[in-house]
Amino acid sequence: MLVVDPFGAIRRGRGFIVRKLVSLWNLVGGFFGSFIDDWLKEHKTIWSLLMQFGWGLFWSCYVCVILCGLLVFSVMLSGVLMRYLVEEPIKIRQDLIFDYTKDNPVAYVPIQSCGGVACCEENIGDFKSLNTRVIPPNHKLQVSVLLTMPESEYNRNLGVFQIRADFLSADGKTLASKSHPSILKFKSEPIRFLLTFLKAAPLVAGYISESQTLALKIKGFTERDVPTSCLKVIIGHRAEYRPGAGIPEIYDASIVLESELPLLKRIIWYWKKTIFIWICMVLFMMELLFALICCRSVIIPRAMLRDGSAINNSTPIDVPAQS
């Protein structure tokens, strides 16, 4: 038979094995099935408790997912509101490159389009769009000029020098001009010798240098309707020197332009995290209240079933017929 019809013999062998497996499965299933039925009948209370616990866990997870969705939506909505509510102060930092070909060295700091200012358009590429106002109106501005100067004999003998900052409009007109005097910090000869002796090793190694960094803060300008397009920083010489003389020696120079928000916006900026949390909480409570009133069956699906069963179980009160 295997030689004449090998595939038929394989099919019959497979059918025989399948029938044996099915009969064995029915035998084992019938034995364990009756055992499980008897166990469930004996422990019906435990099984009912497990079912209630499972359903309770499922509905708890369902409600947790709904609440988390409401919370995420409130956080996103709060972020959108804070984006339009909070205004960030402006801070611009740039290195100063002074033009020493002039009697008073001058450096320009472009903020936005300033076509009316010479040498300003060359450096505008790194800043904001030409048609965008960088500094909003009513912001108080503070200019910090940082000068790194060597403690040379020339700078010590120079004494006081003047730094002036001009706020220029787009057409090159001066909106305001503020100046600030400065001088190297005084150190007596014994103190200088002692400090040089103590710092001899790092000085020789080149880790530090004999220099001072002066921070000159210029305040008192408030941005108005005409936007500030450029800053002009000038190193002025003292009156006793001829033009081009009396200019301090400078290693490095940089400027930091900072704006101060109006009072209300400044309070919002300082308390932005607290305001964000409170807005999230209020929106979440409003969403939850709306859902409980208008979409109760979505958050508590079994509430509708309980209400429906209560209505169905209620029987009308028979009113006795009056003769």
Segment 45-78, tens digit of pLDDT: 777 777 788 888 888 888 888 889 889 999 999 9
The pLDDT, as a whole number, for residue 291 is 82
Sign of the Cα torsion 90, 94, 99, 102 reads positive
- What does the DSSP assignment read for 118-154? TTTGGGGGGSS-TTS-SSPTT-EEEEEEEEEEE--HH
Positions of E strands within the chain: 91-95, 106-110, 140-150, 161-168, 174-182, 211-222, 230-236, 252-260
Lowest-confidence region among 22-26, 63-67, 72-76, 170-174: 22-26
Residue 41 has pLDDT above 70, yes or no: no
Contact by Cβ (8 Å): 287, 74: yes
Measure the CA–CA gap between 118 and 128, rounded to whole angstroms. 19
Confidence of residue 277 (pLDDT cuts 50, 70, 90): very high
Confidence of residue 114 (pLDDT cuts 50, 70, 90): low
Mind listing the pLDDT tens digit for each residue in 188-243?
788 878 887 788 787 777 777 788 888 888 888 888 888 888 888 998 877 777 77
Instruction: State the average pLDDT over residues 121-147.
Output: 69
Pick from 221, 225, 126, 102: nearest CA to 170 = 225
The pLDDT, as a whole number, for residue 126 is 46
Residue 127 has pLDDT above 50, yes or no: no
- What does the DSSP assignment read for 173-204? -EEEEEEEEE-PPP--HHHHHHHHHHTHHHHH
Q: What's the predicted TM-score (pTM) here?
A: 0.60
When mean pLDDT is compared over 85-89, 112-116, 121-125, 196-200, the highest value belongs to 85-89
Residues 6+ apart with CB under 8 A from 244: 103, 237
The pLDDT, as a whole number, for residue 23 is 77
| Local structure of 215: helix, strand or coil | strand
CATH of 91-260, one of 1.10.760, 1.10.443, 2.60.40, 2.60.120: 2.60.120
Residues 6+ apart with CB under 8 A from 291: 66, 70, 298, 299
Residue 119 has pLDDT above 60, yes or no: no
Largest CA distance in the chain: 129
Confidence of residue 319 (pLDDT cuts 50, 70, 90): very low
The pLDDT, as a whole number, for residue 36 is 65
Residues 6+ apart with CB under 8 A from 243: 103, 237
Q: What does DSSP assign to residue 99?
A: B
Percentage of residues of the chain with pLDDT beyond 70: 76
Helical pair 44-85 and 6-42, crossing angle rounded to 10 deg: 90
Confidence of residue 33 (pLDDT cuts 50, 70, 90): low
Residue intervals in the chain for CATH 2.60.120: 91-260
Q: Specify the higher pLDDT residue, 92 or 307.
A: 92
Confidence of residue 87 (pLDDT cuts 50, 70, 90): confident
Measure the CA–CA gap between 129 and 32, rounded to whole angstroms. 79
Q: Rg (Cα) of the chain, in Å, rounded?
A: 42
